[in-house]
Amino acid sequence: MRRGEITPRERVKLALRHQETDRVPVDFLATPESWANLKEFLGLPNSEAVLKYLGIDVRHPRLRYVGPPLPTCPDGSYRDAWGITWSPVSYTGGVYYEPTGHPLGAIKDASQLKDYPWPDPDWWDVDSLAGPIQAWDQETEYAIFLDDFGDPGGFYEIANYMRGMQQLFMDMALSPDIPFQMMRRISDVFIVLAERVLTTLGDRVDLIWTSDDIAHQQGMMMSLPMWRELIFPHHERFNRRVHELGGQVMYHSCGSIVDAMPGLIEMGIDVLDVLQFSAANMNPVGLKSAYGHQLCFHGGADVQQLLPHSTQPEIRTAIRGIIQIMGQGGGFILSPSHAVQVDTPPANIVAMYQEAGSLMDSLPGTVDSVDGGSHYGPAPLGSSSMQL
């Protein structure tokens, strides 16, 4: 790091304070297959070398799972700390892990939840975060975004996987106490972990990443009143506790979440991810104008069409436009709108960061690697808290 040069963490913190800096901060999300393709394309030995070459300002350490052994099967299926079974589902070029076993799928009443073996916060080693952060700090300070306390995601999503999507939606309409109490118990675990992280590491953790996919391409998955009654209270309680401890919260949802924006702000999030501009009414000009003074934004580079199917000049033009709109006055971290998929040419990824002005002038040499990767990589999506 040259004397007088702004550090990646300083760049991110300025953006979070709605201040412009030398360039827009950048982050990177990818599937394991995309990570492998990018490393091969660049001829780099590990994910840390890739992150340095792309100029990524953020690192995503994960809590290490130290709880009871989690069973695995010969077909690659495994059970996570919540009791959810995940199975590999192949697609052209890669594998996703999908929930196939729902441990609470058969309960009939919320009173049965007290008998379920809920995870103990002691099953995650908070002290394990210090090592990777100290290793990164040997060179420079990166912004530290602590991923969800394990995929599979947020309070609603974990409840969804534990109960099964169809059954949970039926519950939300007919037996709302079941999903509400499930999410209360899930958020209890997350709050204890957040308290331990922020007490142990203090302000060295810049954001705690939370998530709940509450929308699809055209709108919300449930009515706003149902969302406010059943899901909102748990996030609000979690966010409030993080803020009391001096932390900040990033919240992820795919899809068209425009209708929920006022509620998300009221819920206490600091940064909104992932800015899926291809979804209905997710207009960057409108989002920045209406909410840019209250929220910071993270994401914006479309992984459905732009990155996999555009030419490099088209990508550069689109990224330039996104930065001009969303980066005005700070409050924006450029990142893919979800994990970059295996059908994205690595050269297109490089073009994105070249336009953002973060790319190194030349490829780095061999880099000692913490190899924590970034969100959704290199661990499989859905790998749960085993790899945190």
Q: What is the pLDDT of residues 325-362, one digit of tens each?
A: 999 999 999 999 999 999 999 999 999 999 999 999 88
Taking the model in full, what pTM does it have? 0.93
Q: Do strands 64-65 and 124-125 pair parallel, antiparallel, or not at all (unpaired)?
A: antiparallel
- List of domains in the chain: 8-387 (3.20.20.210)
Give the distance, in angstroms, between the CA of residue 111 and the centroid of all CA atoms in the same chain.
32
For residue 91, what are its two tokens? 């697609």
Residue 100 and residue 85 in contact, taking contact as beta carbons nearer than 8 Å:
yes
Mean pLDDT computed over every residue of the chain: 92
Amino acid (one-letter) located at 274: V
- Report the C-alpha gap between 323 and 119 in whole angstroms: 41
The per-residue pLDDT for range 110-161, each reduced to its tens digit, is: 999 999 999 999 999 999 999 999 999 999 999 999 986 655 689 999 999 9
Candidates 210, 248, 254, 250; CA nearest to 231 is: 210
For residue 323, what are its two tokens? 């930065």
Give the pLDDT band of residue 77 (cuts 50, 70, 90): very high
